[in-house]
Amino acid sequence: MLLFVSTCLFSMGFALFFVLRGFWPVLPFAALEMLALGLALQASMRRGNYSQTVLITDSQISLVTRSRHGAQKQEFARHWAKVRLRSPPRRHGTSLLTIESRGRAYEVGSFLTEEDRCRLAERLRYLVGGMNESPPLEIDRTVGDPFR
Protein backbone atom coordinates (compact mmCIF):
# COMPACT_ATOMS: atom_id res chain seq x y z
CA MET A 1 0.00 0.00 0.00
CA LEU A 2 2.85 2.37 0.83
CA LEU A 3 4.42 1.67 -2.56
CA PHE A 4 1.18 2.55 -4.34
CA VAL A 5 0.60 5.75 -2.37
CA SER A 6 4.16 6.98 -2.85
CA THR A 7 4.03 6.19 -6.58
CA CYS A 8 0.72 8.06 -6.90
CA LEU A 9 2.08 11.08 -5.05
CA PHE A 10 5.20 11.18 -7.21
CA SER A 11 3.26 10.74 -10.47
CA MET A 12 0.60 13.32 -9.59
CA GLY A 13 3.27 15.78 -8.44
CA PHE A 14 5.07 15.29 -11.74
CA ALA A 15 1.77 15.72 -13.66
CA LEU A 16 0.87 18.87 -11.70
CA PHE A 17 4.26 20.35 -12.58
CA PHE A 18 3.34 20.07 -16.27
CA VAL A 19 -0.30 21.19 -15.72
CA LEU A 20 0.95 24.41 -14.10
CA ARG A 21 3.06 25.03 -17.20
CA GLY A 22 0.03 24.68 -19.47
CA PHE A 23 0.33 21.03 -20.49
CA TRP A 24 -3.03 20.05 -18.99
CA PRO A 25 -3.54 16.89 -21.17
CA VAL A 26 -0.89 15.16 -19.02
CA LEU A 27 -3.24 14.96 -16.01
CA PRO A 28 -5.83 12.47 -17.38
CA PHE A 29 -3.08 10.18 -18.64
CA ALA A 30 -1.35 10.24 -15.25
CA ALA A 31 -4.67 9.40 -13.57
CA LEU A 32 -5.25 6.49 -15.98
CA GLU A 33 -1.73 5.24 -15.30
CA MET A 34 -2.35 5.22 -11.54
CA LEU A 35 -5.71 3.49 -12.02
CA ALA A 36 -4.05 0.74 -14.09
CA LEU A 37 -1.28 0.36 -11.49
CA GLY A 38 -3.85 0.14 -8.67
CA LEU A 39 -5.85 -2.55 -10.46
CA ALA A 40 -2.70 -4.56 -11.23
CA LEU A 41 -1.53 -4.38 -7.60
CA GLN A 42 -4.96 -5.39 -6.35
CA ALA A 43 -5.03 -8.43 -8.66
CA SER A 44 -1.52 -9.39 -7.57
CA MET A 45 -2.35 -9.10 -3.87
CA ARG A 46 -5.51 -11.17 -4.31
CA ARG A 47 -3.56 -13.90 -6.11
CA GLY A 48 -0.85 -13.90 -3.41
CA ASN A 49 -3.22 -15.54 -0.91
CA TYR A 50 -3.60 -18.66 -3.08
CA SER A 51 -1.65 -21.79 -2.13
CA GLN A 52 -1.78 -25.56 -2.48
CA THR A 53 -0.31 -28.19 -0.18
CA VAL A 54 0.19 -31.79 -1.25
CA LEU A 55 0.66 -34.31 1.57
CA ILE A 56 1.44 -37.89 0.59
CA THR A 57 1.29 -40.66 3.19
CA ASP A 58 1.62 -44.42 2.76
CA SER A 59 -2.08 -44.78 2.04
CA GLN A 60 -3.44 -41.47 0.78
CA ILE A 61 -2.85 -38.15 -0.93
CA SER A 62 -4.29 -35.00 0.65
CA LEU A 63 -4.56 -31.80 -1.37
CA VAL A 64 -5.39 -28.60 0.50
CA THR A 65 -6.11 -25.49 -1.56
CA ARG A 66 -6.27 -22.17 0.29
CA SER A 67 -7.68 -19.03 -1.27
CA ARG A 68 -9.51 -15.94 -0.13
CA HIS A 69 -12.70 -18.05 -0.15
CA GLY A 70 -11.32 -20.47 2.45
CA ALA A 71 -9.69 -23.89 2.36
CA GLN A 72 -10.78 -26.86 0.27
CA LYS A 73 -9.50 -30.38 0.94
CA GLN A 74 -9.45 -33.35 -1.43
CA GLU A 75 -8.25 -36.84 -0.52
CA PHE A 76 -7.33 -39.72 -2.81
CA ALA A 77 -6.20 -43.29 -2.12
CA ARG A 78 -2.48 -43.24 -2.98
CA HIS A 79 -2.28 -46.56 -4.80
CA TRP A 80 -5.44 -45.95 -6.87
CA ALA A 81 -4.57 -42.43 -7.95
CA LYS A 82 -3.12 -41.46 -11.32
CA VAL A 83 -1.13 -38.34 -12.12
CA ARG A 84 -1.89 -36.88 -15.54
CA LEU A 85 -0.19 -34.01 -17.31
CA ARG A 86 -2.27 -33.01 -20.31
CA SER A 87 -0.69 -30.99 -23.09
CA PRO A 88 -2.03 -27.54 -23.74
CA PRO A 89 -4.98 -27.30 -26.14
CA ARG A 90 -3.36 -24.35 -27.92
CA ARG A 91 0.20 -23.91 -29.08
CA HIS A 92 1.19 -21.38 -26.41
CA GLY A 93 -1.26 -22.52 -23.72
CA THR A 94 -0.46 -24.12 -20.39
CA SER A 95 -0.65 -27.80 -19.56
CA LEU A 96 -3.08 -29.22 -17.03
CA LEU A 97 -1.77 -31.34 -14.13
CA THR A 98 -4.40 -33.44 -12.37
CA ILE A 99 -4.58 -36.19 -9.80
CA GLU A 100 -7.39 -38.59 -10.66
CA SER A 101 -9.01 -41.52 -8.90
CA ARG A 102 -12.39 -43.28 -9.16
CA GLY A 103 -13.95 -40.72 -11.48
CA ARG A 104 -12.73 -37.69 -9.55
CA ALA A 105 -10.04 -35.31 -10.78
CA TYR A 106 -8.40 -32.34 -9.10
CA GLU A 107 -6.09 -29.80 -10.70
CA VAL A 108 -2.71 -29.28 -9.06
CA GLY A 109 -0.22 -26.45 -9.61
CA SER A 110 -2.29 -24.19 -11.85
CA PHE A 111 -0.21 -21.21 -10.70
CA LEU A 112 3.16 -22.84 -11.52
CA THR A 113 5.28 -22.16 -14.57
CA GLU A 114 5.27 -24.81 -17.28
CA GLU A 115 8.72 -26.05 -16.27
CA ASP A 116 7.79 -26.30 -12.57
CA ARG A 117 4.52 -28.07 -13.43
CA CYS A 118 6.43 -30.69 -15.47
CA ARG A 119 8.89 -31.26 -12.60
CA LEU A 120 6.03 -31.59 -10.11
CA ALA A 121 4.27 -34.09 -12.39
CA GLU A 122 7.46 -36.14 -12.64
CA ARG A 123 7.90 -36.18 -8.86
CA LEU A 124 4.23 -37.02 -8.22
CA ARG A 125 4.32 -39.85 -10.77
CA TYR A 126 7.24 -41.32 -8.87
CA LEU A 127 5.39 -41.18 -5.52
CA VAL A 128 1.85 -42.01 -6.63
CA GLY A 129 0.51 -45.03 -8.49
CA GLY A 130 -0.29 -48.72 -8.37
CA MET A 131 0.43 -50.92 -5.38
CA ASN A 132 3.62 -52.34 -6.90
CA GLU A 133 4.70 -49.05 -8.50
CA SER A 134 4.66 -46.62 -5.56
CA PRO A 135 7.86 -46.62 -3.56
CA PRO A 136 7.61 -46.74 0.22
CA LEU A 137 7.90 -43.30 1.71
CA GLU A 138 11.19 -42.53 3.39
CA ILE A 139 10.81 -40.57 6.57
CA ASP A 140 13.66 -38.31 7.60
CA ARG A 141 13.41 -38.40 11.37
CA THR A 142 16.20 -35.87 11.81
CA VAL A 143 14.09 -32.99 10.47
CA GLY A 144 12.86 -30.89 13.35
CA ASP A 145 14.71 -32.97 15.95
CA PRO A 146 17.41 -30.70 17.46
CA PHE A 147 19.04 -33.62 19.33
CA ARG A 148 20.13 -35.58 16.22
Residues 23 and 81 in one domain: no
Whether 33 and 9 share a structural domain: yes
- The reported pTM is 0.62
Q: Could you tell me the pLDDT band of residue 130, with boundaries at 50, 70 and 90?
A: low
Residue 55: inside a domain: yes
* Distance, CA of 108 to CA of 56 (rounded, Å): 14
Residues 22 and 61 in one domain: no
Strand partners, 98: 84, 107
Judgement on whether residues 56 and 99 belong to the same structural domain of the protein: yes
Structural domain contains residue 141: no
pLDDT at 4 over 60: yes
pLDDT recorded at residue 136: 61
Q: Does 58 share its domain with 118?
A: yes
Over residues 36-77, the pLDDT tens digits come to 999 999 888 877 778 898 998 888 899 998 888 888 899 998
The stretch 75-92 carries a mean pLDDT of: 84
- Residue 103, in any domain of the structure: yes
pLDDT tens for each residue of 32-47: 999 999 999 988 887 7
Q: Got the DSSP string for 23-50?
A: -TTHHHHHHHHHHHHHHHHHHHHHHTT-
- Average pLDDT value for the chain: 83
Residue 42 lies in a domain: yes
Helices of type H across the chain:
2-20, 26-47, 114-127
What is the pairing mode between strands 96-101 and 104-107? antiparallel
Range of the domain at 39: 2-47
Q: How confident is the model at residue 21 (pLDDT cuts 50, 70, 90)?
A: very high
Q: Establish if 133 belongs to a structural domain.
A: no
Q: Is the dihedral of CA 58, 70, 115, 95 positive or negative?
A: positive
Q: Assess contact for 81 and 128: CB atoms under 8 A.
A: yes
Is 122 found in the same domain as 61? yes
Same domain as 59, residue 37: no
**Domains identified in the chain, total number:** 2
Greater confidence (129 vs 133) lies with 129
Same domain, 96 and 56: yes
Nearest to 12 by CA among 27, 32, 24, 22: 27
SS3 assignment, position 60: strand
Q: How confident is the model at residue 147 (pLDDT cuts 50, 70, 90)?
A: very low
